[in-house]
Amino acid sequence: MSVTVRVPAKVNVQLAVGAARPDGFHDLANVFLAVGLHDEVTVSPADELRVTCAGPDAHQVPLDRTNLAARAALVLAERRGLGEPAVHIHIAKDIPVAGGMAGGSADGAGALLACDALWGTHASREELLDICAELGSDVPFSLVGGAALGTGRGEKLRALEVGGSFHWVFAMAGRGLSTPAVFREFDRLAEGRDIPEPVASEALLDALADGDPGALAAAVSNDLQPAALSLFPELADTLAAGRAAGALAALVSGSGPTTAFLTRDPESAAKVAEGLTASGTCRSVRTAAGPAAGATVLSA
Ligand code: C5P
């Protein structure tokens, strides 16, 4: 008996970042869009907790208890008094690792939903979301998918209406960036400046609701982008290459270093992907559309 859950990656179409809070986190207005790049998390009974991973980036994935998938199993088992979870968690990884696309968060949400089904613990949606928030700021969104505005540290979600499909190209970088390091760089760059309260852009929410890629392109923003570029200056070349290839908008995805390019339709996405590949400014290139569904049980 095993359970497989499919979980999407995300891109942040707006990431407004406030000043550092006393707990070290930052208040955000984080507009998430789930996109059709997926990890698949399969859980099956085993003698002890074990994590394995397959895929092009698998060697970069920690297989110990720091992996969010392992933590999800540990938290659910502890809350239900099940003791040490005896489960094998296998991650078929297609989402870039340490890329700013919530790959680790996706595995946390996927493992949680899969263990809940395997163990018959029947956690309510509310409890699942609560555990996700305990695991990390982006994990609740990986569970729900679609499009949502995340406030607080990103974990308080309001579902957003989306009036169509948006076509994206993603350029994977040659190395990862650590999310805490990017937030620290944001703090360093912000020193001595007044940081406004983060608020969602009405123009951006309207563009999403209208399914209008031109209007969305004019409204996308990422306050972490200067920090990501400061730590990884070569990303500017990738952004320029995508713009030159015809992208409507080019931005760093979340804390990076994956760069995201919004295009008008699948044909222009293919053209932008070709231009980015030819530019030699990134490791690999993928196309994906959003919104995509959240964590979904495929087989049990
Ligand atoms: O919540 P999560 O574990 O994904 O966050 C990883 C790190 O990113 C945090 O330790 C913190 O340094 C930074 N972060 C932040 N503000 C947020 C979300 C994350 O400073 N709202």
The dihedral over CA atoms of 74, 76, 81, 83, expressed in degrees to the nearest 10, equals -20
d(CA 4, CA 115): 10
Ligand 1 pocket residue status of 26, Cβ below 6 Å? yes
Torsion over CA: 158, 163, 164, 170 (sign) = negative
> Is residue 155 in contact with ligand 1, taking CB distance under 6 Å?
no
Please indicate, yes or no, whether the overall pTM of this predicted structure exceeds 0.90.
Answer: yes
Check pocket membership of 153 for ligand 1, CB cut-off 6 A.
Answer: yes
Residues forming beta bridges with residue 88, ordered by sequence position: 44, 50
Same fold, 3-160 and 166-290: no
Distance CA 234, CA 173 (A): 9
d(CA 253, CA 282): 14
Distance between CA atoms of residues 61 and 278, nearest Å: 28
Look up the CATH superfamily of 166-290: GHMP kinase, C-terminal domain (3.30.70.890)
- The amino acid that residue 295 corresponds to is A
93 is catalytic: no
Strands in the chain per DSSP E: 3-20, 26-45, 50-54, 87-92, 147-151, 156-159, 166-172, 221-222, 249-252, 259-263, 284-290, 296-299
Distance between Cα 220 and ligand 1 center (Å): 21
100 marked as part of a ligand binding site: yes
Domain boundaries, the chain: 3-160, 166-290
163 CB within 6 A, ligand 1:
no
Q: How far is 130 from 153, CA to CA, in rounded Å?
A: 14
The C-alpha atoms of residue 296 and residue 273 are separated, in whole angstroms, by 28
Of all protein residues, the one whose alpha carbon is nearest to atom 12 of ligand 1 is 180
What number is the ipTM of this complex? 0.95
pLDDT of residue 300: 67
Q: Could you tell me if residue 256 is left (phi over 0), alpha (psi between -120 and 50 degrees) or otherwise beta? A: left
Answer for the pair 53, 103: CB distance below 8 angstroms, yes or no. Answer: no
**Distance separating alpha carbons of residues 13 and 252, to the nearest angstrom:** 10
Domain 3-160 architecture: 2-Layer Sandwich (3.30)
Cis? peptide before 85, omega within 30° of 0:
no
Polymer length of the chain: 300
Smallest CA separation from ligand 1 atom 2, residue = 136
Q: Are 110 and 5 in contact (CB under 8 A)?
A: yes
Task: Give the CA radius of gyration of the chain.
Answer: 19
**Residue whose CB lies within 8 A of the most ligand 1 atoms, among 153, 197, 224, for a mutation test:** 153
* 101 has binding-site annotation: yes
Q: Among the options 27, 39, 116, 138, which is catalytic?
A: 138
Residue 26 neighbours by CB distance under 10 Å: 23
Q: Is the peptide bond before 180 cis (omega within 30 degrees of 0)?
A: no
Name the residue with tokens 């928030």.
133
The response to whether residue 283 sits with its C-beta less than 6 Å from ligand 1 reads: no
54 marked among binding-site residues = no
Tokens of 91: 């991650």
- Residue from 177, 168, 170, 138 nearest 257 by CA: 177
Per-residue pLDDT of the chain (300 residues; tens, 9 = 90+): 999 999 999 999 999 999 999 999 999 999 999 999 999 999 999 999 999 999 998 999 999 999 999 999 999 999 999 999 999 999 999 998 878 999 999 999 999 999 999 999 999 999 999 999 999 999 999 999 999 999 999 999 999 999 999 999 999 999 889 999 999 999 999 998 999 999 999 999 999 999 999 999 999 999 999 999 999 999 999 999 999 999 999 999 999 999 999 999 999 999 999 999 999 999 999 999 999 999 999 976
Residue 186 beta carbon below 6 angstroms from any ligand 1 atom: no
Q: Within 10 Å of residue 160's Cβ, how many Cβ atoms?
A: 19
